[in-house]
Structure 1
Amino acid sequence: MAQIVDTSDLRPGMKIKWEGGMWTILECSHHKMGRGGAIVRGKLRNLETGSGVEQSFKSGERFERIIFDEKPAQFQYRDGDHYVFMDMESFDQVFLSAESLGDAVKYLVDNLEVQFEMYEGKVMGVELPNSITMKIVETPPGFKGDTASGSGKPATLETGLVVMVPFFIENGEVIVVDSRTGEYLERSKK
């Protein structure tokens, strides 16, 4: 049974059917317009094509919410423009494009276990674990006294993602990154 939501229910991360396609909400904000009704402004990304749009909706507009089934998978390797995953139940290889994965590509390290987001038997994307262990490939050296400012320094990780890390972190170290915010959490204990 389809779950119907209206504009007051829209939140980042929610998936909806709109304009004949499936979309994920990246950002949304509610605005009251003087004597008129409220509107909701949002940024959406098409789950099938990867294209993005900015859209305003009138208060009370209704949408069908998409609830995905989840299936365990493991990232294997990158093959040109595609990312290869192994379905952990059938052991089949599944090829997904960078467009369908969106920002998740910044966090895909070898053997990372993820959840396929399935809709009507088709893989629509992946759900990442909240924290991911990644190796630093480049960061400037820290100098004595740098800790006074407390802001940190940029570090490039093995996937190309750049995060801010404390000054004491060095090249080659393994750190834990929050996949929801892209922020440094801690040194890896492994």
Structure 2
Amino acid sequence: MKINGNEIRPGNVIMHKDGLYVAVKVDHVKPGKGGAYAQVELKSIIGNTKLNERFRSAETVERVSLEQRDFQFLYAQGDALVFMNTESYEQIELDTDFVGDRAAFLQDGMMVTVEMHEEKPLGIQLPAQVTLEVSDTEPVVKGQTAANSFKPAILENGVKVMVPPFIAIGQKIIVDTEEVTYVRRAD
């Protein structure tokens, strides 16, 4: 879908210079001399490059819609992670690097959202929070207050997080997958 240069908003995905870019920051500039333009900071979706571009209102750019599909995590196979489309039952393999550090939070049967463009996966969203068991931490110390004191804990998936002093080995906790932080004790 074509849009004018002054209609670009943060979060829009556009086709620019034969690549897909997401608009991170947009400033509308009206200089005293000459026409107005939009100063747009673009971040490449595929690579990790950034661009600063000027778009005049008369210029048009191609706005791209990313398709979001639900996939179920099946299993890890070497450096590949296998997911299944819940509607068509087709399976795709994604590199562990594609998911990044958050791959440690994947659990069998977990539902994720994969952003796709022309049948090519571009991004993945895991659930915001997961429940994991604490496999190792320091023992509970009687009389220790919970006022801003945290201790390190290792979870069943090998990830380290800081937890309150009352958390013991074997307890299940809820962890934020984006920030990799303790949220609360699981019920």
**TM-score (ref. length: structure 1):** 0.70
Paired-residue identity, %: 33
Q: For the structure 1 residues 118 and 156, does the alpha-carbon distance in structure 2 shift closer, same or farther, using more than 3 Å as the test?
A: same
Q: Specify every segment of 5 or more residues in structure 2 that has no aligned partner in the other structure, as ranges.
A: 28-36
Say if 2:45 and 2:122, in contact at 8 Å, map to a contact too: no
Matching residue of 2:30: none
- Look up the SS of the partner of 1:147 in the other structure: coil
Matching residue of 2:136: 138
Counterpart-to-counterpart distance in 1, 2:14 and 2:52: 13
- Look up the SS of the partner of 2:98 in the other structure: helix
Matching residue of 1:179: 177
Counterpart-to-counterpart distance in 2, 1:22 and 1:103: 23
Say if 1:104 and 1:126, in contact at 8 Å, map to a contact too: no
1:112 Cα deviation from its structure 2 partner: 1.0
Matching residue of 1:33: none
Q: Specify every segment of 5 or more residues in structure 1 that has no aligned partner in the other structure, as ranges.
A: 31-36
Once the two structures are superposed, residues 135-164 of structure 1 have per-residue CA deviations (whole angstroms, 9 ceiling, x without a partner) of: 223222232233354231222223333222
Counterpart-to-counterpart distance in 1, 2:103 and 2:168: 24
Say if 2:19 and 2:44, in contact at 8 Å, map to a contact too: no
Counterpart-to-counterpart distance in 1, 2:141 and 2:61: 54
Q: CA RMSD in A?
A: 3.5
Matching residue of 2:32: none
Matching residue of 1:170: 168
1:58 Cα deviation from its structure 2 partner: 5.0
- Look up the SS of the partner of 1:186 in the other structure: strand
1:80 Cα deviation from its structure 2 partner: 0.9
1:81 Cα deviation from its structure 2 partner: 0.7
1:57 Cα deviation from its structure 2 partner: 1.7
Letter in 1 for 2:72: Q
1:95 Cα deviation from its structure 2 partner: 0.7
Once the two structures are superposed, residues 79-124 of structure 1 have per-residue CA deviations (whole angstroms, 9 ceiling, x without a partner) of: 1111111211122221101232234313212221112212112222
Matching residue of 1:10: 10
Counterpart-to-counterpart distance in 2, 1:75 and 1:8: 34
